[in-house]
Structure 1
Amino acid sequence: MKYILTIAFCAISTLIIAQEAEITSLEFTGLKRTKSSFLSRLVKVKTGTAYDSLKVATDIARLNRLPGIAKASVSDSISADGKHHLTYYVVENFTIIPGLRISEANDESFAFRASVFEFNFLGESQILGGFYQRDVFDSYGGFWEAPFLFTNKLGLGVNYIRNTTFEPIYLIESGINYTKQDNGGEVYGMYEIDFLNKVELGVKVYEERYDFNDTQIDANFPNDLTADKVAIRGEYEYFKLDIDYQYFDGFTNILDARYIIGGSGLLEEGLVARNATAYYKRVGEKGNWASRLQLGLASFNDSEFAPFTVDNQFNLRGAGNDSARGTAFTSFNTEYRHTLLEKGWFVIQGNAFTDIGSWRAPRGDFDQLASIRNIQAYSGLGLRFIHKRIFNAVIRLDYGVGWGATKNRGLVFGIGQYF
């Protein structure tokens, strides 16, 4: 009998505690453009359920990831009867972001890329935007992405890009200039496995075309190459990052793999895969150490039309634009960021960086990746001008200088942190 009474007492006590820990209200304050109905669907804490401090902390981290939110925090008011009344305080970002990238084209003419994107379209963290680029020729593209279109885990994205550039292809040592066209569209789905892991799966249908521009080259070289291709793309992202305005702390990894169908000859079909691993560490009150390791591999190695390039904007600051191509690569970027000035919404951040990379040339061996003759290294200093209330509003200036036999150097301008 006493066992029955003990069990009954425990059950009643558990019920009373659960009732006392119940969440009876949940509201969002500070919202201007973001819909409260969207956030209610996104967060894991629900009214009428038992209070869970871990879920609340996860919700705050989730809200801080959204482009439309600069900073989220929570207040928990507990009533006399033990009920929890949660208020999520939100400071919103301005999310209509123009972009500008200026460079020198491969024919030494002025080149630029201008864009505008809305990162909180319809108040539901959808991305809508496009770009126009002049790089000897005209290019443009449009993008729409809704990560939570169907549920709080499942979304959809589409894009169309008509890209035409003037690029060197190293069929001979000095390079041959081609007009490269890459025109097509992609549809892809996004699924959040859990708070730390998500995947994407997409299909891109496009035409890849190279038109011969140089007139002083032997006629045996191809005058034009064209292939209608289909790329099946898969992406996996691990994201464990604490974000506090300009400060990052944590670890991320993105694996992007695509199998290209429809190529032939010099425009081969096959697998192209990239992996980027980044680690961020807060240093004191004003410092941030950031490092990134990138690896890339193409299954084909017999074509000079290789998928990976050495470029200021992607791997080596100071190297120039499309200065080399490879069918495999590795690059390592590390930098120390320090807040020099912070006044309300405005931040000036300085950084010192080192970028190191190596490439496997077409028809080359993997030994080239470790060859001292094939390794390029750059170091330099930079500045960041940051608006804390505008999403990704980081104006970036870096000046990189090559080490040893690497003679290149130059200023790199961009929008957003380098990584």
Structure 2
Amino acid sequence: MKKNLYILLLLWCSTLHSQENSIHKINWSGQKKMDVIFMTRFIQSKVGEALDSIKLNSDIQALTRLNGITKATYTVDKLKENETYEVTFFLIENYTLIPNLSLWTTDDAPAAYRVGLYEFNLLGKNISIGGFYQFNGINSYGLQFAAPYLFNENWGLETSLQQIGSIEPVFLNSASAKYEYTNKAFELLGVYRTNFKNTIKFGSSLFNEKYTYINGATSPEIPQDFTIDKVLFKVNNQYDNLKYEFYLVEGIKNSSYFQFVTQTNSFQNEFLIGWNDFVYLKRFGKTGNFGTRIRLGLASNDVSPFAPFALDNNINLRGVGNIIDRGTGSFVMNNEYRYTLYEKKWFVLQSNTFIDLGSWRKPGGNWNDFVASENFRIFPGVGLRFIHKTIFNAIFRIDYGIGINENGAKGLVFGIGQYF
């Protein structure tokens, strides 16, 4: 009997201690557009549960990854009357209704442009919706919708509908040809957040590719005009342990992509493709930011002029040119050091010094292709970043890369957002 009373007394004391160290209330300060109910469900800290500084720090890290929040901090106040705690999160929100305008030159049109409008925080729930129109000699359009927390704090979906057209080089042995390429696609993905650092996306895409020969080399094995219906199945996994202080970032991010493509034509086989991006960012001093990205990709090693990995300015090597070659394997390392030259209120001017290097495996080639001198490229360069601290992804970048290999190319690369 005494033993049972002792156990009950211990349980009562434990419960009382737990209640005394619990969270009594969660407040939000600085909230304008963000939905309070959504954020309360999104964070790990809950009313009635024990105060946990590890969870609170994780909540800050997770909140600053939301499109609508550029900075988050918290305070903890102890309530004397019942020995519980009141937590207050302080937010600085992003402006998230963003028009998009891009201009560039091409060899096939006097001017190319893209105009669009995107809302990255619809209803204050981190929902992205928007669309664009593009003209580069060919009309293109796209509509996107992404709601990673649509059903609850862990489950959501993404979908898109687009028609993209471009003039694509196709490499036939030592010669090349130009084709007009059109891709019409519909994609639907499920999104599952396994924990606050890791997210899995899975689903499929139905798309149609159309190639129309323009000029250049020909091959009896490759038709000059053809249309292909394809189905793509994909799984993506992203580990994100980045910490943000406005535009300054530190931590590790790793993204893995796996895809299987089946198609209806006779001269292209079904193929697998996968690649991995590893990103490491480190802050130095108050405004220095070093970053490196290592990308390794492999695909089915078929002999085909339509190999999936492209050597391109906007994807891997700044200054190399627009789709100068293709391969069934790719290795790329991008390194850069960003340093703040000027900062006042919302505006930041940032310098960038970089060196990009990479190699690729030719279609039907072997592992030695990765170390062959003719496939290896090195591009050092410099650039600038024009940053608005409280508009989502409002980073306009300019980089100039110079190839130091024999007959190395050089050129300017423009874009929105950091290169990686």
My pick for the range that moved more, 122-131 or 109-118, is: 109-118
Instruction: Give the CA RMSD over aligned residues.
Output: 1.9
Which amino acid is the alignment partner of residue 87 of structure 1? T
User: In 2 relative to 1, CA 204–218 (structure 1 residues): closer, same or farther, beyond 3 Å?
Assistant: closer
Supply the distance in 2 between the matched residues of 1:212 and 1:85 (Cα, whole angstroms).
Answer: 67
* CA apart distance, 1:99: 2.8
Which amino acid is the alignment partner of residue 177 of structure 2? I
Matched, 1:121 2:125: no
Supply the distance in 2 between the matched residues of 1:259 and 1:151 (Cα, whole angstroms).
Answer: 29
User: In 2 relative to 1, CA 219–372 (structure 1 residues): closer, same or farther, beyond 3 Å?
Assistant: closer
* CA apart distance, 1:9: 5.5
Which amino acid is the alignment partner of residue 198 of structure 1? T
User: In 2 relative to 1, CA 221–5 (structure 1 residues): closer, same or farther, beyond 3 Å?
Assistant: closer
Supply the distance in 2 between the matched residues of 1:341 and 1:364 (Cα, whole angstroms).
Answer: 48
Matched, 1:291 2:277: no
* CA apart distance, 1:364: 2.0
Supply the distance in 1 between the matched residues of 2:396 and 2:214 (Cα, whole angstroms).
Answer: 35
Supply the distance in 1 between the matched residues of 2:35 and 2:196 (Cα, whole angstroms).
Answer: 21
Report if the CA contact (8 A) 1:271-1:300 is conserved: no
SS in 1 for 2:195: coil
My pick for the range that moved more, 209-218 or 160-169, is: 209-218
SS in 2 for 1:193: strand
- Cα distance per residue 1:265-320 (max 9 Å; x no partner): 34332111121110001111111110001111111421111111111111000011
Supply the distance in 2 between the matched residues of 1:216 and 1:188 (Cα, whole angstroms).
Answer: 39
Supply the distance in 2 between the matched residues of 1:343 and 1:104 (Cα, whole angstroms).
Answer: 33
Structure 1 length as normaliser, TM-score?
0.95
Supply the distance in 2 between the matched residues of 1:175 and 1:97 (Cα, whole angstroms).
Answer: 39
Report the equivalent of 1:34: 34
**Alignment identity in percent?**
37
Report if the CA contact (8 A) 1:319-1:409 is conserved: yes
Report the equivalent of 2:400: 399
My pick for the range that moved more, 37-46 or 377-386, is: 37-46
Report if the CA contact (8 A) 1:269-1:300 is conserved: no
Supply the distance in 2 between the matched residues of 1:264 and 1:220 (Cα, whole angstroms).
Answer: 12
Supply the distance in 2 between the matched residues of 1:264 and 1:409 (Cα, whole angstroms).
Answer: 38
Which amino acid is the alignment partner of residue 288 of structure 2? G
Report if the CA contact (8 A) 2:170-2:178 is conserved: yes
Which amino acid is the alignment partner of residue 67 of structure 1? N
* Residues 322-341 of structure 1 mapped to structure 2, 5 A cutoff: 322-341=323-342
Report if the CA contact (8 A) 2:271-2:299 is conserved: yes
Supply the distance in 2 between the matched residues of 1:57 and 1:364 (Cα, whole angstroms).
Answer: 48
Supply the distance in 2 between the matched residues of 1:126 and 1:31 (Cα, whole angstroms).
Answer: 17
Which amino acid is the alignment partner of residue 342 of structure 1? E
Report if the CA contact (8 A) 1:268-1:300 is conserved: no
Report if the CA contact (8 A) 1:106-1:167 is conserved: no
* Residues 104-253 of structure 1 mapped to structure 2, 5 A cutoff: 104-107=105-108, 109-214=110-215, 217=218, 221-253=222-254
Report if the CA contact (8 A) 2:172-2:217 is conserved: no
* Residues 248-263 of structure 1 mapped to structure 2, 5 A cutoff: 248-263=249-264
SS in 1 for 2:360: strand
Supply the distance in 2 between the matched residues of 1:319 and 1:35 (Cα, whole angstroms).
Answer: 44
User: In 2 relative to 1, CA 189–253 (structure 1 residues): closer, same or farther, beyond 3 Å?
Assistant: same
SS in 2 for 1:222: coil
Supply the distance in 2 between the matched residues of 1:67 and 1:358 (Cα, whole angstroms).
Answer: 34
SS in 1 for 2:317: coil
My pick for the range that moved more, 241-250 or 112-121, is: 112-121
Report the equivalent of 1:307: 308
* CA apart distance, 1:366: 2.2
SS in 2 for 1:265: coil
Report the equivalent of 2:22: 22
Supply the distance in 1 between the matched residues of 2:285 and 2:66 (Cα, whole angstroms).
Answer: 26
Which amino acid is the alignment partner of residue 62 of structure 1? A
Supply the distance in 2 between the matched residues of 1:174 and 1:25 (Cα, whole angstroms).
Answer: 69
My pick for the range that moved more, 16-25 or 258-267, is: 258-267
* CA apart distance, 1:5: 7.5
* Residues 309-388 of structure 1 mapped to structure 2, 5 A cutoff: 309-388=310-389
Supply the distance in 2 between the matched residues of 1:330 and 1:106 (Cα, whole angstroms).
Answer: 27
* CA apart distance, 1:6: 6.4
Report if the CA contact (8 A) 2:238-2:256 is conserved: yes
- Cα distance per residue 1:103-160 (max 9 Å; x no partner): 3324263222333211101211001011222222111110001000111000011101
My pick for the range that moved more, 52-61 or 309-318, is: 52-61
Report the equivalent of 2:55: 55
User: In 2 relative to 1, CA 215–372 (structure 1 residues): closer, same or farther, beyond 3 Å?
Assistant: closer
Supply the distance in 1 between the matched residues of 2:237 and 2:151 (Cα, whole angstroms).
Answer: 20
- Cα distance per residue 1:221-248 (max 9 Å; x no partner): 5211221110001101111111111111
SS in 2 for 1:267: coil
Report if the CA contact (8 A) 2:232-2:259 is conserved: yes
- Cα distance per residue 1:335-383 (max 9 Å; x no partner): 0111111111111111100001111122222211111221011010011
My pick for the range that moved more, 167-176 or 369-378, is: 167-176
* Residues 262-281 of structure 1 mapped to structure 2, 5 A cutoff: 262-281=263-282
Report the equivalent of 1:74: 74
Any unmatched runs of 5+ in structure 2? none
SS in 2 for 1:38: helix
Which amino acid is the alignment partner of residue 231 of structure 2? V
Supply the distance in 1 between the matched residues of 2:314 and 2:99 (Cα, whole angstroms).
Answer: 17
* CA apart distance, 1:172: 4.4
User: In 2 relative to 1, CA 373–217 (structure 1 residues): closer, same or farther, beyond 3 Å?
Assistant: closer
Supply the distance in 2 between the matched residues of 1:2 and 1:100 (Cα, whole angstroms).
Answer: 78
